[in-house]
A and B are shown apart, each in its own frame.
Chain A
Amino acid sequence: MEPVIATLGLTKRYRGGQLAVDGLDLVVPRGSVFGFLGPNGSGKTTTIRMLMGLIEPTSGTARVLGEAMPGAGRRVLPRVGALIEGPALYGFLSGRDNLVRFDAADPTADPRTRAARVEGALDRVGLAGAAGKKARAYSLGMKQRLGLASALLRPRELLVLDEPTNGLDPQGMREIRSLVRQLASDGTTVFLSSHLLDEIEQVCTHAAVMAQGRLLTQGTVADLASSVRGRLAVTTPDTADAVRVLKEHGVIDLVVTDDRVTGELPAAGPPDLADVNAALVRADVRVRAFGTQRASLEDAFVALTGEGFDVAG
């Protein structure tokens, strides 16, 4: 089955000379919830702009829903809902009229069902009560919801969401997550860029990591997390003794924070954790907690991008 998004050597150099995306080979499988990760300025929005035909790639190709962008935009884009770099609204129109306007811009949208589809989209993002209010009087989170509603005006095969939970309250974030899950279970592919690793981990099946315009890795979230080995963590008031014992058993990269000692188990011939625990007790180390921590996506991310979330010039 052809992927929903496939790019080959996709590159964008802005007119100022900034190389924003550099030789990107991205594959988004159909039916996935795909997390697109990267520090600020790593080229996520630039990639999305190229996928949506807003900007022309400097070189390389992008195929969306099996057709080449930006050439096939007229056929592809009606099947795609998008939220790009936050919502943008007509402040002097009501929330409802904003949606009517964006729907009217789509020549393939049936005007006879427009009113009903607009109400449906408002309902879906929890804005039905504020639909008559002028958009300039909306809060940031309400604007974000209205932007999402405009992506949901029609059944879509692909949703492209650039930081969709930006500005939402925790309840709103939860609602968006459950909305994304629900859409995905209906068969919509969701392509989601975010800074919130936690969020990606909770909803995404697949992820890709960008840094400085380059793709560092892509794959399933499970594979990404398991590529980073878990760490052994011991909670004890006797940290100095614990470090000595763990070192004797071959644990490396030991870090002490307050009453916690963490370290990496050696890849070759890791010690039996039961033996390590017994040795700690024999050495009179008073253990409060003992175990391995599961590697999170955040660990994978930090391992990949090194410093984590620093903006590269």
Chain B
Amino acid sequence: MSQAETAAAVRAPSPLWGLSLLRSEVGTTFRRWRTLALLGVLAAVPVLVGIAVKVETRGGGSGGHDGGGPAFISQVTNNGLFLVFTALAATLPFFLPMAVGVIAGDSIAGEASAGTLRYLLVAPAGRTRLLLAKFATAMLFCLVAAFVVAASALAVGALLFPLGDVTLISGTTISLGEGLLRAALIAVVVAMSLMGVAALGLFVSTLTNSGIAAMATTVGLLITVQILDQFPQLHAIQPYLFPHYWLSFADLLRDPVYWDQMLRNLGLQALYAAVFGSAAWARFTARDVTV
């Protein structure tokens, strides 16, 4: 209890101890009932899509037609692996970013409304460090969410449909093993596509003391931007909207792979992360915490 002892403990911390906050953040986020519910909803989407496809083909629908719906859906009956691509294409425009918006939007504002923010800050977590831990956790959630969709789709696809060699968009055929590898790569690309939403949500989260308001604002912005991306009149600004290149992940199913759009997507996401990450940092480090 002597003061010398306290001072020594402060002077010689291991740099690794600083990672405790990130570990705690990840543990706290993934132990929340809400996080698990979001992941549960995401896991349910491929189940519904798979069942719908199965029922439709049984009912006499010809398997080969290409009558709209999410990408790759017509191929699912031939190869269950395509359900992974279908499910990711179906959840990427709304379900996935909405889930990320909830997690990122609540990250700081939720701590503020619970009052725990002041105790994290006097611990002292450090404002920059806390923000980084929050952003890293949101990105980890993106990755987990994408893999939950992919894994659920793979399980449903294997259960309801045959699995086998994969015929790519370019016409070439690859083995099932390589198909699985590409599916994993696509899940990673999908997760990284959500970086812009995560950064936007984090920034919104530093603006308010209400977790609900931050989540609603982030999801509202997401919907607005998705709508703007549909208007042909706005084509001049569309390349700068974060969802614009989202579906470019399909280019990973070509041989050779088209990287152009995908790199543009990743560049755009990095730009959003830089802009809104800095804005969040500027706001959060200068802010009075009175709750």
Binding site for B on A (CB under 8 A): 14-15, 49, 52-56, 73-75, 77-80, 82, 84-86, 88-93, 100-111, 147, 150, 154-157, 186-188
- The verdict on B290 contacting chain A, using a C-beta distance below 8 Å, is yes
- 4 further A-B pairs in the complex, CB-CB below 8 A; given A92-B32, A105-B20: A54-B288, A105-B124, A106-B123, A107-B20
- Minimum distance in angstroms from B11 CB to a CB of chain A: 9
- For the complex of A and B, the 5 pairs showing the least CB-CB separation, nearest first, are A88-B115, A104-B24, A105-B123, A77-B124, A104-B20
B288–A55 touching, CB < 8 Å: yes
Q: Is B185 in the interface zone, CB < 8 Å from A?
A: no
| Total A-B Cβ pairs within 8 A | 124
B contact residues around A85 at 8 Å (CB): 115, 118
Residues of chain A within 8 A of B123, CB atoms compared: 77-78, 102-103, 105-106
| A246 CA / B10 CA spacing, docked (Å) | 64
Closest chain B residue to A52, Cβ basis: B122
Size of the B side of the interface (Cβ < 8 Å), in residues, is 38
Q: Is B13 a contact of A105 with CB atoms below 8 Å?
A: no
Instruction: Let me know if A111 and B20 touch, CB within 8 A.
Output: yes
Output the least CB separation between A106 and chain B (Å): 4
Q: List 6 A-B contacts (CB under 8 A).
A: A55-B288, A55-B290, A78-B124, A82-B119, A109-B13, A147-B119
Query: Whole-angstrom distance from the CB of A215 to the nearest CB of chain B?
Result: 21
Contact residues in A for B288 (Cβ distance below 8 Å) = 14-15, 54-56
Taken together as a complex, chains A and B put the C-alpha atoms of A74 and B128 apart, in Å, by 12
Query: In whole angstroms, how far apart are the Cα atoms of A107 and B33 in the complex?
Result: 27
Asked if B3 CB lies within 8 Å of chain A CBs, one says yes
CA distance A92 to B106 in the complex (A): 15
The minimal Cβ–Cβ distance linking B5 to chain A, given in whole angstroms, is: 7
- Contact status A53-B121, CB under 8 Å: yes
* A107 adjacent to B126 (CB under 8 Å): yes
Contacting residues, chain A, for B2 (C-beta < 8 A): 155, 187
Closest Cβ of chain A to B49, distance in Å, is: 32
CB distance from A31 to the nearest CB of B (A): 10
A157 proximity list for chain B (CB < 8 A): 3, 6
A102 in contact with B5 given A55-B289, A79-B10, A109-B20 (CB within 8 Å): no
- B231 touches A (CB below 8 Å): no
- Which parts of B1-29 form the interface with A (CB within 8 Å)? 1-3, 5-7, 9-10, 13-14, 17-18, 20-21, 23-24, 28
Which of B23, B119, B130, B289: most chain A CB closer than 10 A?
B119
State A86–B32 Cα separation when bound (angstroms). Answer: 24
Given contacts A55-B289, A102-B123, A154-B6, A90 and B28 within 8 Å (CB-CB)? yes
A102 touches B124 (CB 8 A): no
Is there contact, CB below 8 Å, between B118 and A108?
Answer: no
